[in-house]
Amino acid sequence: MPGFFGRFFRLSMHRLAFALAAIALMLGSAAHAASSYAQTRYPIVLVHGIFGFDSFLGTDYFYGIPGALTQDGARVFVAQVSAANSHEVRGEQLLAQVKNILAITGASKVNIIGHSQGSPTARYVAGVAPGLVASVTSVGGVNKGSRVADIVRGVVPVGSIPEAVANSVAQAFAAFINLGSGGLGLAQMPVAALDALTTEGSLRFNQRFPQAIPAGCGSGAELVNGVRYYSWAGTQPVTNLLDPLDGPIGLLSLAFSEPNDGLVAACATRLGKHLGDYRQNHLDEVNQVVGLRDWFSVDPVTLYRQHANRLKLLGL
Ligand code: CA
């Protein structure tokens, strides 16, 4: 890393100023050209996963995403729900915030986009108050559980995974949580969250909220009770060696024997119309850490912008 930054500092001031001016010009023209691209009829509400912060490593959890959507004409709100709790508790918190957003904006519905546990959190709101929700979109959503949660909770069937691998995964998960959330230890994480994220806990939740959950690995119903459902996912655990969390995520991926993003199997993320799988790990899905992702693959921010445009064209 020092070498990486050193090269930047060795740039002459002249070249640096020129580069900054060029970037400012590009951003200015992009903002002008794309000013209504993401201008959805209903406000967009972003819902975070288990880390439970509106910022992650000192930055926005959805890194650069609210700004990009706003620049393209969307009204964007970032929800703040419990760091770690059941889908139902987080869902009630989100429902209250949705009602506030509707009161503030005068809108009759919202478009909710949830990452990780943010997906079942959003599904709860759509399930109990479908009239307030235009769409629910799952990004790397834990809709059918996480094998990592199964291992950490010790509910993986005996013999289904080597003990050494299980131990590595549990330790990597603890390190991952510590790194990602500035010292929140695994022990502080409420058991309710982990239980909800296990395969068994997710199946229980899905019995109560089956809307748009597919039977297999394909798409589910796109329209249920007037609410549209969408999902996309990552299937590449290690994408950028400069990202300090790629190591732990790579270890977590050892828990899986199928395509996954390091924390969730691709098939467990499906909800409504499946929009695609991408070369992203669980944190690339929210453009973390600070935009460190597979630079030869699609920009995660672009997927959010394209989806907002999709919702706009549907009149949502
Ligand atoms: Ca990353």
Residue 112 reports pLDDT greater than 90 = yes
Angle, alpha carbons 87-215-253 (nearest 5°): 65
Q: What is the mean pLDDT of the chain?
A: 85
Q: Which of 114, 160, 157, 161 is nearest to 138 (CA)?
A: 114
User: Residue length, the chain?
Assistant: 316
- Cα–Cα distance for residue pair 30/211, rounded to 1 Å: 38
| CB-CB contact of 307 with 137 (8 Å) | yes
User: Ligand 1 center to residue 100 CA distance, Å?
Assistant: 33
pLDDT band at 153 (very low <50, low <70, confident <90, very high): confident
pTM for the model stands at 0.84
pLDDT score, position 164 = 75
Residue 11 reports pLDDT greater than 50 = no
| CB-CB contact of 285 with 234 (8 Å) | yes
Render the burial of 27-51: b for 16+ CB within 10 Å, e for the rest.
eeeeeeebeebbebebbbbbbbbbb
Mean pLDDT score, 126-149: 97
Residue 21 reports pLDDT greater than 50 = no
Mean pLDDT score, 277-304: 96
Catalytic: 261?
Answer: yes
User: Ligand 1 center to residue 316 CA distance, Å?
Assistant: 30
Of 82, 86, 116, 253, which is the active-site residue?
116
Of 48, 115, 274, 282, which is the active-site residue?
282
Catalytic: 274?
Answer: no
pLDDT tens-digit series, residues 188-218: 456 788 889 999 999 999 999 999 999 999 9
pLDDT score, position 183 = 43
In the block, tokens 């209250």 appear at 96
Weakest mean pLDDT among 102-106, 111-115, 147-151, 255-259 = 147-151
User: Ligand 1 center to residue 244 CA distance, Å?
Assistant: 8
User: Ligand 1 center to residue 282 CA distance, Å?
Assistant: 8
User: Ligand 1 center to residue 313 CA distance, Å?
Assistant: 30
Catalytic: 282?
Answer: yes
User: Ligand 1 center to residue 281 CA distance, Å?
Assistant: 7
Q: Mention every residue, 6+ apart, whose C-beta is less than 8 A from residue 80.
A: 48, 54, 97
pLDDT tens-digit series, residues 176-188: 665 555 444 333 4
User: Ligand 1 center to residue 250 CA distance, Å?
Assistant: 11
User: Ligand 1 center to residue 16 CA distance, Å?
Assistant: 26
User: Ligand 1 center to residue 262 CA distance, Å?
Assistant: 11
| 114 membership: H or E segment, kind and range | strand 110-115
| CB-CB contact of 197 with 142 (8 Å) | yes
Ion ligand 1, residue ranges at CB < 5 A: 243, 283-284, 292-293
Of 60, 72, 150, 261, which is the active-site residue?
261
Residue 173 DSSP symbol? H
Collapsing DSSP to helix, strand or coil, 134 comes out as strand
pLDDT tens-digit series, residues 220-255: 999 999 999 999 999 999 999 999 889 989 998 999
pLDDT band at 70 (very low <50, low <70, confident <90, very high): very high
Both tokens of 208, joined, read: 């109560």
Residue 20 reports pLDDT greater than 60 = no
pLDDT score, position 102 = 98
In the block, tokens 């748009």 appear at 212
Collapsing DSSP to helix, strand or coil, 272 comes out as coil
